[in-house]
Structure 1
Amino acid sequence: MVKEIVLSPDEIIEYIRTEVKVNDVLEIAYNRVFAPGIVLGITPEDEETGEGLRVGLALTGEILSDYVEVDFHRLKDDILEIRHNPTGDKDDEEHLIIIEAEMFDNMDQK
């Protein structure tokens, strides 16, 4: 069963903080970038500044395979969609969670 949810940028940060673990599959679409990979590590926010929440991914793309670190606080407003598979199996549709970013038009933003 695929679970689809819509979250605000701040809710996405909270989801990443509480639900994503090492060895999960995470596919992030932001701006014009698609970064599919396996979570190798999670660096929590700095206690004093609140900045951070970086996730290290081993990219699993067909063209590019490498390690990247994604800072979710910097990207939160650019995220379009995240596919999260907690089982660590990118083909496991039964446990797939699709997170769509809540979009605002200029009239609705505060």
Structure 2
Amino acid sequence: MEKQLKMNYDEAIEYVKDNVKKYDNLELSYNVVYTPGEVMNVETDCFKGSETCSVMVLLDSNTINAVVEVDLEEVKEDLIEIKHMPNGKNDTMVITIET
């Protein structure tokens, strides 16, 4: 079942920190970038007084096998949508970012 939510970017990042786990599937849309794939890791930290929330994603692709790391705190103002599909569940959470 797909559930639609509207959040600001800070709430969306909190959702990722609290709910996204290794091996879930995640689709990030920010600026003009689309990053679909399996979550390899989610890390939160404080670096030089600034919070970070980094998501490492193994990209879904037949032509490349790449892992990208996206610091959501760095791109938060460019976030458009986050689609989260928890591993082993039929639920899908689609978060549309409101500014």
Verify same fold: TM over 0.5. Answer: yes
Q: Structure 1 48/31 Cα, relative in aligned 2: closer, same or farther at 3 Å?
A: closer
Residue 47 of structure 1 deviates from its aligned partner by 6.9
Amino acid aligned to 2:43: T
For 1:68-87, list aligned pairs within 5 A: 68-87=68-87
- Report the RMSD for the aligned CA atoms in angstroms: 1.7
Which residue matches 2:24? 24
Which residue matches 1:13? 13
Residues 87 and 95 of structure 1 are in contact (CA less than 8 Å); yes or no, is this contact kept in structure 2? no
Please, what TM-score do these two structures have when normalized by structure 2? 0.90
Per-residue displacement from partner, 1:52-105 (whole Å, max 9, x unpaired)?
Answer: 1101110113443300000000111101111100126xxx7x4011000013xx
Higher strand share: 2
Residue 48 of structure 1 deviates from its aligned partner by 6.2
1:95 aligns with 2:85: no
Query: Which piece of structure 1 moves more, 39-48 or 65-74?
Result: 39-48
Tell me the secondary structure at the aligned position of residue 61 of structure 1: coil
Where in structure 1 are there 5+ consecutive unaligned residues?
Answer: 104-110
Q: Which of structures 1 and 2 has the bigger CA Rg? A: 1
For the residues of structure 1 that align with 2:68 and 2:24, how far apart are their CA atoms?
A: 15
Q: Structure 1 47/32 Cα, relative in aligned 2: closer, same or farther at 3 Å?
A: closer
Residue 50 of structure 1 deviates from its aligned partner by 3.5
For the residues of structure 2 that align with 1:100 and 1:13, how far apart are their CA atoms?
A: 12
Which consecutive segments of 4 or more residues in structure 1 shift more than 6 A?
Answer: none
Q: How many residues align?
A: 99
